[in-house]
Amino acid sequence: MATAKKLPSGSWRVRIYDYTDSNGKQHYKSFTAKTKKEAEKAAANYMPEDRTSRTEATFGECADAYILKRTPVMSASTIREYSGYRRRYLDRLSKIPIWRITQDDIQREVNTLSLDLSPKTVRNVHGFISTVLGAYRPDFRLHTVLPKRVPPKLYVPTEDEIRRLMVSVSDTVMELPILLAAFGPMRRGEICALRTENISGNIVHVCENMVIDKDNKWRIKAPKSYAGDRYIDYPDFVAEHWQGITGRITELDPDDISHRFEHVLKNAGLPHFRFHDLRHYSASIQHALGIPDAYIQQRGGWNSDAVLKQVYRHTLEEQTRQMTAKINDHFSALHDTQT
């Protein structure tokens, strides 16, 4: 993505490829402004569809234009993902003029990516390719054969593991984040962005999220989705932990939480799982208590019930293993009495 660079004068400049002349020389257009944001905005305004419809515009240029123009309305995580796909995986495709790209080019790219990347990542990259082509070649319909989806392997912590975890983090900086995730459930970014002004009694208004922006800095923004803005009524034993706090309830950022969580599990002698899996525990317990899925989905801020179904499937598989072991133990005991 075209990014402004600071000049010795203190101004910011963005250089955008314009065209290649008959002698093979590449020409660029420069946009200079007092601020980085203004320079990038000027560049974005220069790269509408009429620029990228020129025959010399490559897929990479169109991809950069797409990301730059939609930066104000896309979430920071989406911008980061798109920029990563463009930078890491699409070097060959980025050099091809967008009007010359064929279905075979796309299929070849997907086949190559599938050798090293997971099916989910390949599908995500293809989704980005499709999005860019949809913006600049709307009549081009893709029929790519994609790798089959692989069901994600979710880990759902047990009640005993949660008890041991709570004992291990008692009176530490990780105690409140873990309580908010396991009994809310809240996400890492939501916890790190939570401020006491968004708490009333036992009720937490989840209305902000801490994310990494395109400059690789942590920013606090509104939730990525409508479902993410919600209210959670916590039990008293959780609410008592934020008494006396003013401002942000933790100074940790999401990466801090993940790194510290690894050490917490190790010190507690627990198997490795993600901090995010505490949300799965919360969903599975609510389901076991007979709480309606619609309420569980709303409390957790899920857009759909897809994750809940995966969690329930895991729980059912675990129950099946337990029942199978119980049956086989009974049959084994019966056999032992006959020998």
**230, 301 Cβ separation under 8 angstroms:** yes
Q: Are residues 80 and 178 in the same domain?
A: no
pLDDT, residue 198, reads 96
Q: Are residues 119 and 163 in the same domain?
A: no
Task: Report yes or no on 112 lying in a domain.
Answer: yes
Closest Cα partner for 76 from 212, 279, 249?
Answer: 212
Q: Are residues 284 and 210 in the same domain?
A: yes
**28, 18 Cβ separation under 8 angstroms:** yes
Mean pLDDT, 10 residues at a time, the chain of 339 residues: 81 76 64 88 65 67 89 82 92 90 94 94 96 87 92 82 94 96 94 96 94 84 81 94 94 96 95 93 85 88 78 61 72 69
Q: Are residues 108 and 59 in the same domain?
A: yes
Q: Are residues 116 and 24 in the same domain?
A: yes
DSSP state, residue 241: G
Closest Cα partner for 93 from 121, 115, 113, 79?
Answer: 113
Q: Are residues 31 and 104 in the same domain?
A: yes
Closest Cα partner for 287 from 313, 304, 312?
Answer: 312
**223, 207 Cβ separation under 8 angstroms:** yes
Other C-beta atoms closer than 10 Å to the C-beta of 33 total 17
Question: What is the phi/psi pair of residue 107, to 5°?
Answer: -65, -40
pLDDT, residue 189, reads 94
Task: Report yes or no on 33 lying in a domain.
Answer: yes
DSSP state, residue 272: P
pLDDT, residue 315, reads 61
DSSP state, residue 217: -
Instruction: Give the C-alpha distances (Å, rounded to integers) separating 200 from 129, 176, 207, 241, 271.
Output: 45, 16, 13, 14, 35
Give me the residues paired with residue 232 across strands.
204
Q: Which two tokens stand for residue 224?
A: 């990525």
**Distance between CA atoms of 166 and 160, rounded to whole angstroms?**
10
At 71 the three-state DSSP class reads coil
Q: Which helix (H) or strand (E) holds 11?
A: none
Q: Are residues 194 and 301 in the same domain?
A: yes
Q: Are residues 180 and 301 in the same domain?
A: yes
**Distance between CA atoms of 274 and 283, rounded to whole angstroms?**
15
12-20 and 203-206 strand pairing: unpaired
Task: Report yes or no on 197 lying in a domain.
Answer: yes
**15, 81 Cβ separation under 8 angstroms:** no
**Quick one: 77 exposed, middle or buried, by C-beta within 10 A (0-12, 13-18, 19+)?**
middle
pLDDT, residue 53, reads 47
Task: Report yes or no on 325 lying in a domain.
Answer: no
Q: Which two tokens stand for residue 204?
A: 């937490």
Residues 6+ apart with CB under 8 A from 46: 16, 29, 31
Task: Report yes or no on 11 lying in a domain.
Answer: yes
**90, 129 Cβ separation under 8 angstroms:** yes
pLDDT, residue 320, reads 60
Q: Are residues 91 and 166 in the same domain?
A: no
Other C-beta atoms closer than 10 Å to the C-beta of 280 total 24
pLDDT, residue 310, reads 74
Instruction: Give the C-alpha distances (Å, rounded to integers) separating 121 from 67, 110, 118.
Output: 19, 10, 5
Contacts 24+ apart (CB under 8 A), 291-296: none
Q: Are residues 164 and 230 in the same domain?
A: yes
pLDDT, residue 165, reads 95
Task: Report yes or no on 327 lying in a domain.
Answer: no
Of the CA atoms within 13 Å of residue 166, those in its CB half-sphere come to: 16
pLDDT, residue 117, reads 93
Alpha-carbon torsion angle 113, 117, 60, 107, nearest 10 = 30
Which of 73, 101, 136 represents a domain boundary (last residue)?
136
Boundaries of domain holding 275: 159-318
**Distance between CA atoms of 55 and 100, rounded to whole angstroms?**
9
- Number of domains present in the structure of the chain: 2
Beta strands, E only, 71-127 = none
Closest Cα partner for 318 from 203, 173, 153, 128?
Answer: 153
